[in-house]
Amino acid sequence: MTGEANQPTLKRLLPALPLVPSLMTLGGVILLITLGVWQLQRLQWKTEIIATIEARMALPSSPLPSGPIDADAWRFRKVTVQGRFHHDGEIHMYAANALGKPGYLIITPLERPDGSYVFFNRGWVPLDKRLAETRPEGQIEGPVALTGITRKPWPQNTFVADNDPGGNIWFYGDLDGMAKFRQIVHYSPLFVEADETPNPGGLPIGGQSRLKISNDHLTYALTWFSLAIALLIVFGFYIAEQRRSGQ
């Protein structure tokens, strides 16, 4: 008897909701909240990267060790390296400069005194200066001492084309693939990107490291959460109107 007496009260408190709109709203809210949580996770990840970059860039330059090193511990460091360039082993990576102009980054194997190599990103050249013979002044011979910033290899993402070793045109930082292409066995697990020191003839143009990373993930997260709340409000108005029209 008590259960039967409570049924009208429960129906008044929890009136039946339209199935399809309710399911669509629930699915939308779950999706929007999921996207918001994902952006918060991205926020934490990006904040840690920015803090790491700032801390390591504040350190003085130090020689890049030879032999096996921890790439994670050494990335985003100012380092010095010595050796001789192998200009005949240049690697050309398609990239835009800071102004968005298309061209190539010139990555040249640098042979160190111990016989190991560093893949040294000497900087950017315009499209018509990709080939080494178009910029002979910049082909430095003999021993060099260089300063740069370390960077880990990076994988291909969805929107990046495949590397083309046959044409020597690269689109992402496949360091192992580059070493295999140039038949180099012993090499640092990091790229070194040149600082702004000018090269003879003006090319390549160094200082292409991009260390300022945008971090708008909190804004994105708040946007997704706000949309979830707005969807619930719209659904509430919809239900209220349906009930009003049904009376």
The DSSP annotation for 123-168 comes to: EEEEGGG-SGGG-GGG---S-EEEEEEEE------TTSPPPBGGGT
Asked if residue 138 lies in contact with residue 203, where contact means CB atoms within 8 angstroms, the answer is yes
Q: Are residues 198 and 129 in the same domain?
A: yes
pTM of the model: 0.76
The DSSP call for residue 88 is G
The enclosing domain of 127 has a CATH number of: 2.40.50
Residue 121 in any domain: the answer is: yes
- Asked if residue 112 belongs to a domain, the reply is yes
Residues 6 or more apart whose Cβ sits within 8 Å of residue 95: 102, 103, 104, 105, 124, 208
Q: Indicate whether 104 and 30 sit together in one domain.
A: no
Same domain for 230 and 152: no
Closest CA to 78 of 244, 208, 192, 234: 192
pLDDT tens string for the chain (247 positions)? 455 555 555 445 445 678 888 899 999 999 999 999 999 999 998 888 888 888 888 889 999 998 889 999 999 999 999 999 999 999 999 999 988 899 999 999 999 999 999 999 999 999 999 999 999 999 999 999 999 999 999 999 988 999 999 999 999 999 999 999 999 999 999 999 999 999 999 999 998 888 777 888 999 999 999 999 999 999 988 888 877 876 5
Confidence at residue 223, expressed as pLDDT on a 0 to 100 scale: 95
Residue 160 and residue 227 in one domain: no
Alpha helices in the chain (DSSP H): 2-13, 19-57, 71-74, 175-181, 217-246
pLDDT of residue 153: 96
* Domain shared by 143 and 196, yes or no: yes
How many angstroms separate the CA atoms of 96 and 29, rounded?
A: 39
Query: Can you give the pLDDT at residue 10?
Result: 45
Asked if residue 177 and residue 225 are part of one domain, the reply reads no
**Which of 124-151 are b and which e, b meaning 16 or more Cβ less than 10 Å from the residue's Cβ?**
bbeeebbebeebeebbbeeeeebebbbb
Residues 133, 163, single domain; the answer is: yes
Q: Is residue 12 part of a domain?
A: no
DSSP 8-state symbol, 24: H
* 66 plus 49 within the same structural domain: no
Is 51 within a domain?
A: yes
Residues 193 and 222 in one domain: no
**16 belongs to a structural domain:** no
Domain contains 223: yes
- In a domain, residue 11? The reply is no
Looking at the structure, do residues 39 and 70 belong to the same domain, yes or no?
no
Q: What is the pLDDT of residue 13?
A: 44
Same domain, 103 and 142: yes
- State whether 146 and 74 are in the same domain: yes
- Count of domains for the chain: 2
Q: Is position 9 within any domain?
A: no
pLDDT for position 213 = 75
Q: How far is CA 153 from the centre of its chain?
A: 11
Domain carrying residue 41 = 26-58+216-247
